[in-house]
Amino acid sequence: MALFSRRPKKDSDPKGEVPVDAQADVDEVQQDVNAAVAAEQADVTDAEPVPHVPISVSTYGKPVPRPAPQPERLPKTPETAPAPSESRPGMPDNTLLSTVLQEVPEEVDNAAILAVMRQALQGTLYLRILGDARAQAAAGEPLRLAISIVNDKKFLLAYTGAAALQAGLGDQAQSTSILAQPSQRVLRNVIDAGYDGIVFDHAGPGRRIVLPTGLIQRSLDQADPEFTIKNLLAGPRTDETARAVVDALVARGAWIAAGPRADGQGMGVAEARSAEGGRYLQVFSHPLEVLTLRREDQPMPLTAAQLGAALKSESGLDGFLIDPAGPWIRIERAELDALITIADAAEAVDAAADTDDDKA
Q: Give the N- to C-terminal CA distance of the chain in Å, as an integer.
A: 56
Pairing mode, strands 271-273 and 124-130: unpaired
For the chain, the structural domain boundaries read 18-42+84-221, 50-78+237-353
The answer to whether 204 and 101 have CB atoms below 8 angstroms apart is yes
Give the model's pLDDT for residue 82.
Answer: 94
The answer to whether 174 and 132 have CB atoms below 8 angstroms apart is no
Alpha-carbon distances, residue 37 vs 69, 163, 207, 317 (angstroms): 30, 32, 20, 36
Question: pLDDT, tens digit, for every residue of 308-339?
Answer: 999 999 999 999 999 999 999 999 999 999 99
The band of 102, judged by pLDDT with boundaries at 50, 70 and 90, is very high
Q: Nearest-CA neighbor of 212 among 154, 286, 136, 134?
A: 154
The arithmetic mean of pLDDT across residues 24-39, rounded, is: 51
Three-class secondary structure of residue 214 per DSSP: helix
- pLDDT tops 90 at residue 57: no
Min mean pLDDT across 25-29, 100-104, 353-357 is at 25-29
* Beta-carbon-side half-sphere exposure of residue 352 (alpha carbons within 13 Å): 6
Give the model's pLDDT for residue 15.
Answer: 54
Question: pLDDT, tens digit, for every residue of 217-276?
Answer: 999 999 999 999 999 999 999 999 999 999 999 999 999 999 887 777 778 899 999 989
Name 92's bridge partners.
86
The total number of residues written for the chain in this structure: 360
- pLDDT tops 50 at residue 37: no
Give the model's pLDDT for residue 306.
Answer: 96
Radius of gyration of the CA atoms of the chain, in A: 23
The arithmetic mean of pLDDT across residues 163-184, rounded, is: 85
Give the model's pLDDT for residue 146.
Answer: 92
Q: 267 φ, ψ to 5°?
A: -110, 155
Indicate the residue type of 3. Answer: L
